[in-house]
Amino acid sequence: MSDCLFCNIVDGTIPAEIVYEDKQVVAFRDLNPQAPLHVLLIPKKHIATLNDLESEDNAVMGALILAAKKVAEAEGVAESGYRTVINCGEQAGQSVYHIHLHLLAGRQMQWPPG
Ligand code: AMP
């Protein structure tokens, strides 16, 4: 989708610091990091929110989680720990309507989240 920020990162028209890419997934550093490590992982396919997932998206969402594991290992936080978050909709604070998984690490996380 040409008017989607994250689709534009996938196709290279908007720059990002890409840390991982495979056939289905791109991962890049968040512009406004909320932890020493803050990476966003997105499917290359445009899917607006978790509510828009279809059964055919099973594989790509699996690939997204597996990519998060690989990024955590590559960034050296797999053992110390990391948080993954997918915000869905307004009350969750979703601001970009292309599914993205936040991978946050490098500081002690709190629970419950704000
Ligand atoms: P959410 O609030 O869950 O929709 O998360 C959207 C995230 O995208 C926020 O953490 C933003 O800082 C991040 N973000 C917005 N624009 C960019 C961009 N051009 N490059 C990297 N991260 C971005």
pLDDT digits (tens, 9 = 90+) for 49-107: 999 999 999 999 999 999 999 999 999 999 999 999 999 999 999 999 999 999 999 99
Asked if residue 60 belongs to a domain, the reply is yes
Whether residue 8 has its Cβ less than 6 Å from ligand 1: no
**Calpha distance 18→6 (Å, rounded):** 12
Whether residue 32 has its Cβ less than 6 Å from ligand 1: yes
Structural domain of residue 93, as residue ranges? 5-105
Query: What is the reported pTM?
Result: 0.98
CATH number of the domain at 34, please.
3.30.428.10
Asked if residue 110 belongs to a domain, the reply is no
The number of domains in the chain is 1
**Calpha distance 28→91 (Å, rounded):** 24
User: Smallest Cα–Cα separation from 37: which of 82, 5, 67, 85?
Assistant: 82
Asked if residue 112 belongs to a domain, the reply is no
